């Protein structure tokens, strides 16, 4: 009905830019501003409460659009159709709102990562001031009372010499509210006992090694392990705790297994005995890598950069030792195949 004049009157058709210019005389999927329909209209985050709020806002915007269309429309039938559609937007809002309420989730609890304490309650007043510099700053519940910290023009103050804005910039809470510090201490005590066990086990492994390259590798790693013990002690000092080891049952089991492998190796060929020894050593390295990675992650969460640096250095040494063991193992595997290849040739 509304397009009827455009169908029969060329002048009326050319007067409508959506038909004459955007549509080229045909009907296309354009909105009232001439924008083509795209999937950008769909807003999906995968978080149910966030998407419900987005739906409620979308229905509210649609309701206002229908309301204004009714005000611009003279045809009674069209008004009735628009009134029906406008009313259903409120129905949809009601359904989405009740669904959101049924989740019993606090209004400002969005996602799973908590906001930074302090920063979340700071209101930055970046207006230019009062009088000749601008209008009087409006105050209300959105920027005062109920926990708000009103920051007076921090952007302007930042340019002044010696100015301290007091803006909270940390990405995580500056205080340990979840016991992470105690977890880190327990992990360090476990690692300390593990490393001390290795300072006793590595000389035996070096003595049991048949090939010089493997023996030298164990001797080199013994020196690294002794340095790692010192680093753990430094971590305790930085954390204000007494260096005290806690029995590491995991490492105790690995060391015991290594002793069995060394005993069994006495009956094996050189290459086979050392390959078994390397397997035991790599299990130890992977256990240590997991322990250092856990401790490092805890220190990072606590924003203790000095402890992170010490643990990172030890972790890198464990990873390097594992790689060196791999290299020795590859060369020994070639040696182990030689007798079989010789027998086959004969």
Q: What is the pLDDT of residues 326-346, one digit of tens each?
A: 999 998 888 766 554 444 444
Same domain, 165 and 192: no
Least-confidence region, from 137-151, 227-241, 306-320: 137-151
- Exposure pattern of 80-97 as b/e (b: 16+ CB <10 Å)? eebeeebeebeebbeebe
Same domain, 15 and 119: no
Can you give the CATH number for the domain in which 17 is found?
1.20.1260.10
Q: Do 159 and 199 lie in a common domain?
A: no
| pLDDT tens digits along 261-274 | 999 988 888 888 99
Contact (Cβ atoms closer than 8 angstroms) between residue 302 and residue 276: no
CA distances from 276 to 147, 173, 265, 310 (A): 64, 47, 8, 31
Q: Is residue 195's pLDDT more than 80?
A: yes
Is 218 found in the same domain as 118?
A: no
pTM of this structure: 0.52
**Same domain assignment for residues 38 and 187:** no
Q: How far apart are CA 47 and CA 81, in angstroms?
A: 34
Q: Specify the pairing of strand 149-152 against strand 122-125.
A: parallel
108 within a domain of the structure (yes/no) = no
pLDDT digits (tens, 9 = 90+) for 62-84: 999 999 999 988 899 999 999 99
Q: How confident is the model at residue 24 (pLDDT cuts 50, 70, 90)?
A: low
Separate counts of helices (H) and strands (E) for the chain: 11, 2
Q: Which of 128, 150, 174 is the last residue of a domain?
A: 174
**66 lies in which domain range?**
4-102
Q: Where are the beta strands (DSSP E) in the chain?
A: 122-125, 149-152
Q: Give the model's pLDDT for residue 345.
A: 46
Q: What phi and psi values does residue 323 have, to the nearest 5 degrees?
A: -65, -40
Quick one: 241 and 333 in the same domain? yes
Look at residue 38 and tell me if it is in a domain. Answer: yes
Dihedral sign (CA 152, 117, 143, 146): negative
Report the distance separating Cα 65 and Cα 133, nearest Å.
Answer: 38
CB 298 within 8 A of CB 290: no
C-alpha distances in Å from residue 36, one per residue of 41, 57, 301: 11, 22, 47
Give per-residue pLDDT as tens, 267-294: 888 888 999 999 999 999 999 999 999 9
Mean pLDDT of all residues belonging to the chain: 83
Q: How far apart are CA 308 and CA 119, in angstroms?
A: 25
Give me Rg for the CA atoms of the chain. 36
Question: Are 120 and 92 in the same domain?
Answer: no
* Tokens 């029995």 found at: 247
Average pLDDT over residues 311-339: 87
């Amino acid at each position: 009905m509304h397009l009827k004049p455009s169908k029969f009157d060329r002048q009326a058709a050319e007067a409508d830019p959506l038909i004459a210019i955007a549509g080229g005389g045909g009907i296309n999927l354009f909105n009232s501003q001439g924008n083509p329909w795209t999937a950008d209209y769909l807003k999906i985050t995968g978080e149910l409460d966030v998407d419900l709020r987005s739906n409620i806002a979308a229905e509210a915007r649609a309701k206002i659009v229908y309301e204004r269309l009714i005000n611009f429309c003279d045809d009674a039938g069209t008004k009735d159709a628009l009134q029906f559609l406008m009313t259903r937007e409120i129905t949809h809002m009601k359904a989405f709102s009740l669904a959101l309420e049924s989740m019993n989730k606090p209004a400002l609890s969005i996602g799973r990562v908590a906001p930074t304490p302090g920063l979340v309650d700071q209101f930055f007043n970046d207006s230019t001031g009062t009088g000749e510099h601008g209008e009087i700053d409006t105050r209300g519940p959105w920027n005062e009372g109920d926990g708000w910290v009103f920051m007076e023009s921090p952007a302007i103050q930042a340019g002044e010499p010696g100015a301290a804005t007091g803006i909270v910039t940390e990405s995580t809470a500056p205080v340990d509210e979840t016991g992470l510090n105690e977890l880190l201490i327990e992990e360090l005590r476990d690692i300390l006992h593990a490393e001390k066990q290795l300072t006793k086990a590595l000389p035996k492994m070096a003595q049991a090694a048949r090939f010089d390259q493997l023996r030298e590798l164990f001797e080199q790693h013994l020196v690294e392990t002794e340095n790692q013990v010192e680093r753990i002690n430094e971590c305790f000092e930085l954390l204000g705790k007494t260096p005290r080891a806690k029995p590491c049952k995991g490492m105790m089991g690995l060391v015991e297994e290594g002793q069995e492998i060394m005993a069994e190796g006495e009956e094996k060929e050189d290459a086979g005995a050392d390959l078994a020894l390397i397997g035991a050593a790599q299990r130890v390295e992977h256990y240590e890598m997991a322990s250092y990675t856990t401790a490092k992650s805890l220190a990072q969460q606590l924003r203790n950069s000095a402890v992170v640096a010490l643990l990172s250095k030890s972790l890198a040494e464990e990873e390097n030792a594992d790689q060196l063991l791999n290299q020795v193992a590859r060369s020994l595997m070639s040696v182990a195949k030689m007798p079989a290849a010789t027998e086959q040739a004969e």
